[in-house]
Amino acid sequence: MLGYPFSLSGHVVYGKQLGRSLGFPTMNLHVHNSCAVQTGIYIVKVYGLRQKSLPGIASLGTRPTIERKGQLLLETHLLDENLDAYGKLIQVVFLQRLRDEKKFSNLTNLILAATEDKQDAYNYFQIHGL
């Protein structure tokens, strides 16, 4: 409805680095609680780390599987890059919503869902390009 995709920008902050240990390292951005985007999992592209945008998946939410009362956070995983982005200013552009944020019964189920999300993102970029 905006005529262009919604985006969020900010400096990448340190998290608990759990995503890295699960095979999905993320770049974390603090997000104001009144963010205009619905929480959930998204296909995104990221600007600010290379001369061109980079494909990724992002989770906007409170991490219910990990924390009981988590702070709203945007966690972005790059599909084919593993960069040290701490402190860098990035822009995350939301391209397509995949699903709602969900509380999983264990980390194994979280990893399985993230793996499916990542494959959905690869399929999206194969069809639509970056």
The answer to whether 46 and 92 are in contact (CB under 8 A) is yes
CB atoms near residue 130 (< 10 Å): 11
Q: Which residues contact 65 (CB under 8 A, 6 or more apart)?
A: 102, 103, 104, 107, 110
Q: Which two tokens stand for residue 103?
A: 């509380």
The answer to whether 119 and 98 are in contact (CB under 8 A) is no
Q: What is the pLDDT of residue 63?
A: 84
How does pLDDT run along the chain (130 residues), one tens digit per residue?
567 789 999 999 988 778 888 889 999 999 987 777 899 999 999 999 999 999 999 999 988 788 777 788 999 999 988 888 999 999 999 999 999 999 999 999 999 999 999 999 999 999 998 7
* DSSP assigned state of 97: E
**Chosen CATH of 7-128 out of 2.40.30.30, 3.30.413.10, 3.40.50.2300, 3.40.50.11540:** 2.40.30.30
Q: What is the pLDDT of residue 37?
A: 83
Instruction: Provide the whole-model pTM.
Output: 0.92
Cα angle 57, 20, 53 (rounded to 5 degrees) comes to: 35
The answer to whether 99 and 49 are in contact (CB under 8 A) is no
Q: What is the pLDDT of residue 1?
A: 57
Calpha distance 8→68 (Å, rounded): 25
